[in-house]
Amino acid sequence: MPDESTLIHGVDPSTPVIVGVGQAAERPDDADYAALSEADLAARAVRAALADAGAATDLAAAVDVVAATRSFEISSPAAQSPFGRPDNLPRAVSARTGMNPRRAVAEITGGQSPQHLVNEFGAEIAAGRCGPTLLFGAEVMSTVRQALAGRIDPAPDYTEEVGGQLEDRGFGIAGLTSVESVKHGVMLPIHQYALLENARRHRLGLSAAEYAQQMGELFAPMTAVAARNPYAAAPREHTAAELATPGENNRVVATPYTRRLIARDHVNQAAAVLMMSVGEAAAAGIDPARWVFLHGHADTAEAPVLERPELSATPASDAALAQALDMAGVGPDDIAAFDLYSCFPIAVSTVADALGLRADDPRGLTATGGLPYFGGPGNNYSMHGIAEIVDRVRSAPGTRGLVTANGGLLSKMSVGVYSTAPAPWRPSRSAALQECLDRGPRIPLSRFPDGPATVESFTVLDPDRDAPVGVVIGRRDDGSRFIGLADPDDAVLAERLLGDPIGTPIWVRSSPTRNTVTVDENTMERLHPRRAVGFRDDYSDVIVRRDGHLLEIVINRPQARNALTAHTNQELDEIFDAYFADPDLWVAILTGAGEKAFSSGNDLAASAGGGGLATPANGFGGLTSRRHKPKPIIAAVNGFALGGGLEVALACHLIVADEHATFGLPEVKVGLVAAAGGLVRLPRLLPPALARDLILTGRRLTAAEALTHGLVSRVAAPGGVLDLAREVAAEVLAASPTAVRASLSTMADAETQPDTVQAVQDSLAVLDEILVSTDTREGILAFVQKREPRWTGR
C-alpha cells in the first residue's frame, strides 16, 4: 500500500489518467476544405488534445511515448497508399506538434486498437515504464477518393521520409481472414458480418421484415446524435424506416444490410488522447477536474468465425464487459453514457443484449453518432468514442462512461469504464480470462465437403444487381462447418435465400476453386454431372505415356521450371485418379520435362492472382493430401525439386535422382511455409536437425547428400534419371502387384501406430488377404517350376 503522505487527491501518484482529448475533421464540401494529409489531420487532433489539458507547462516537450492506430492504407498486406504516406507516421505527427518522444509505436490492425492502447499504456504508466503518452489516429479516405476521382488538382503527394525509431507491431490480423473466405470471395466485412447477422435473426425467430425494423430502430437514435456532432461525416437524422427500407439511395449491399446500416468509411477524421500519471499531471499544473480515471478495463478475443460454436454469439465480448464492470465495481445501470462500437447492427446488439440495454435507452448507445453516421475512420473510431466519453464524464463529475471497441469480425473486444472520480489503477486480469475462453469448444472446418448438409447461415451479395451471389455457411452431419456458394442456376435455392433457409437441407460439392451448393443431390448432378474417372486424350500441362503396366507422367511446363498452376494441379489430380482406378496399370513414374527441374513448386505468378488457393482435395500435384495411394509412384527427380516440387516428390513412394538434382524448401525466403507436406514429411525422413535446417533456412541438398541421408534411394549419372526410374519400375513390376499393393497398404497403416510391436501384430492381417490371392498361388508355382511368374494383379 502506498504511504498516505504521498497520495495526490487520494490516489497513488503513479495512477494513470487521461488529461486531454482532441478531435479534428474536414469534409470536401466545407468552405475551408484543405485536403489535409493523414499526418496533418492527425496533428490537428494532437494539438487539440494538448490544449485540452490546459497545462501550465509545455506538454508537447514532455511526451515520452506516441502510439498511432493503423490507417486503412497500412492495415493489410493488400493495402495501398495511392498518394504516398510518411514512412514513420508517429514521428511525422510528432515533428508537426513539437514532440520528440523516446518511443514511437504503430499499433496492430483492428477497431479495438484505441481502447487497447489506453489499457496497455495505462499499465505502462502505472508501472513507471513510460512517461506522458499521446495516442492518436487519423483517416483521410474521403480525400483519397476525391483525388482518385481527379477532383483535387494537382494530385497530392503525401510521401515523407521521416526515419527514426518505430515499433511497428505489424498487421495482427491472423485468424481474421481464412483461405476458405478468400476462395469464396467472402472477404469484405460487409459480407462476413451479414452471415453473422442472419444467424442472429434466425436465433431470434424473426422474419426479414421484423429484423430489418429492429436494425432500423437500433440505429435511428444514433443518427440524431450524429446530426448534432460537429465532427460527423454524415450529420443527418433518419427514421428507422429510412435506414432499413431499401430504395434508390439505400440499396441492399448484402442481405440483410442496406447501405445506411453499415459503417461509413468515406471520412476525414482524426482523434487523440493524452495520458500521464497523476503525479505528472499535478506537476504540470493540470486541473484535477480534467483528470479522467480508467476504473475498469478488459481485452479479449473470440475464436475465428468458422470455429465458433454459435455464429451470432460473442462469449469473449460478454466476458470482457463483465470483467471491466466488475473491476470498476459497477453494473450497467451505473453507467451514465455509452459508446458502443457500431460498424454493423450485430456489433451493437450483442453488447446491448449482454448489458440488458434497449435500443431506446434514454442514455443512448453512442456518444459520437455511430460509425454509419458519425463516420467510421477505420481502426481509430473508438479514439473518437473515448474523446466523447471523456467530455461526457467531465461535464457530469462522478458519473461513469463505458466504451466498447470491436476489432475484426466481432473478433477482438477492448472495454473501458471511465470517470472523473479518483480510483486506483487496477491491473489487467484479461490474460487469465482469455486462457479460460481459449479452452472453449471449437467447430471443425471441412475444407472439401461433399454430400448432404444443412444451412447454418447465409447472405446474398448485391441482391439487386444483375448477378447476385448467394453465400452459405453449412454444417455437415459430422458437425463440421464449411463455406459454399449457391449455384446461380439453382432457382429453387435462390428463392429460398430470399427468405430464411437456415436449418434446411442442401447438397454441397467441393472443387479446387470453391464449394458449390444446390438444393439437393439431383439438382447438383443435373447442373454439375461428375466427370467419369479415366484418362483424357490430351492434357495441356502434362504428358501421359503408357507402356504395358507402366504409366509415365511428365509435368510439361519447362518454361516455368515445371512449376504447377491451378490447372496443372487439376490435371495431375485427374491423372492419379485414373491411374489408381485402372487395373492394368501397376507402377507410375512422375518426372518433369527438360533437364532443369522436376518441379520448382507453386507457380507464384499464378498464385498472386488467387490461383494458389485452387488446390485439389488430394493436395498439391494431386498427391500431397491423398490418403489412399494403393499403387507405387516413383519420382524421377531430374533437376530442381523445390518447394511444392519437393513436397510432391516426398508424397511418392520412391525417389530416384539425377546426379545434378537438388532438393529444398525455400518457402521461408518468400514469406511462405511448406504447408503441402514438407513440414510434416521431411522431419520424418531426415535427421531432425537437418530437416529443421532445410525448412528454416531454405538450404538445398545435393543428390549425393539426399542419398546419404535416405531421402532418395538411387542416383543416376547426369541425364539418366528417367532410365534409372524405368529400371526401378521394372524391378517392381517383376514382383507380385498384389503383394506390392498389400505392402504399401500395410506400411501406411503402420505409420499411424506408434507402438512397434502392436504395428507388427496388426500387420499380420495382411496375410489373410495375400494367402487367398491368385498372384500368391502363381508366385509359389512359378518358384517350384523354376519359371518367371505370370502376374494378374489379383
Rounded to whole angstroms, the Cα distance separating 589 from 481 reads 37
667 labelled catalytic: yes
Pairing of strands 16-25, 292-301: antiparallel
* φ, ψ dihedrals at 734, nearest 5°: -75, -15
Cell numbers standing for residue 645: 516440387
Contact criterion met (CB below 8 Å) for 776 and 762: no
What is the sign, positive or negative, of the torsion defined by CA atoms of 123, 124, 126, 131?
Answer: negative
Burial class (CB in 10 A: 0-12, 13-18, 19+), 428: middle
Q: Verify cis geometry, omega within 30 degrees of 0, for the bond prior to 718.
A: no
Contact criterion met (CB below 8 Å) for 513 and 614: yes
Helix axis angle for 678-685 and 688-697, nearest 10°, is 150
Rg (CA), the chain: 32
Residue with cell 447442373: 527
Contact criterion met (CB below 8 Å) for 665 and 646: yes
Rounded to whole angstroms, the Cα distance separating 794 from 791 reads 8
Rounded to whole angstroms, the Cα distance separating 667 from 688 reads 18
Contacts for 645 with CB less than 8 Å, ≥ 6 apart: 562, 563, 564, 592, 597, 598, 599, 600, 601
What is the sign, positive or negative, of the torsion defined by CA atoms of 720, 722, 728, 731?
Answer: negative
Burial class (CB in 10 A: 0-12, 13-18, 19+), 484: buried
Q: Verify cis geometry, omega within 30 degrees of 0, for the bond prior to 246.
A: no
> Which of 408, 513, 580 is closest to 185 using CA atoms?
513
Contacts for 511 with CB less than 8 Å, ≥ 6 apart: none
Contact criterion met (CB below 8 Å) for 320 and 300: yes
Specify the long-range contacts of residues 433-441, CB closer than 8 Å, at least 24 apart. 433/298, 433/300, 433/319, 433/320, 433/323, 434/300, 434/301, 434/316, 436/319, 437/300, 437/301, 437/302, 437/315, 437/316, 437/319, 440/303, 440/309, 440/315, 441/309
Q: Which residues does residue 103 pair with via DSSP β-bridges, in sequence order?
A: 65
Rounded to whole angstroms, the Cα distance separating 487 from 468 reads 11
Contact criterion met (CB below 8 Å) for 328 and 296: yes
Q: Which of 280, 302, 388, 667 is catalytic?
A: 667
Q: What is the DSSP letter of 405?
A: E
Cell numbers standing for residue 238: 433518419
Q: Which of 248, 647, 727, 751 is catalytic?
A: 647
647 labelled catalytic: yes
Give the DSSP H/E element, type plus range, for residue 663.
Answer: strand 662-664
> Which of 576, 584, 667, 654 is closest to 619 using CA atoms?
576
Rounded to whole angstroms, the Cα distance separating 369 from 548 reads 76
Contact criterion met (CB below 8 Å) for 719 and 591: no
Specify the long-range contacts of residues 332-335, CB closer than 8 Å, at least 24 apart. 332/356, 332/357, 334/400, 335/363, 335/400, 335/401, 335/402, 335/417
> Which of 381, 154, 391 is closest to 267 using CA atoms?
381
**Catalytically active residues, by annotation:** 647, 667
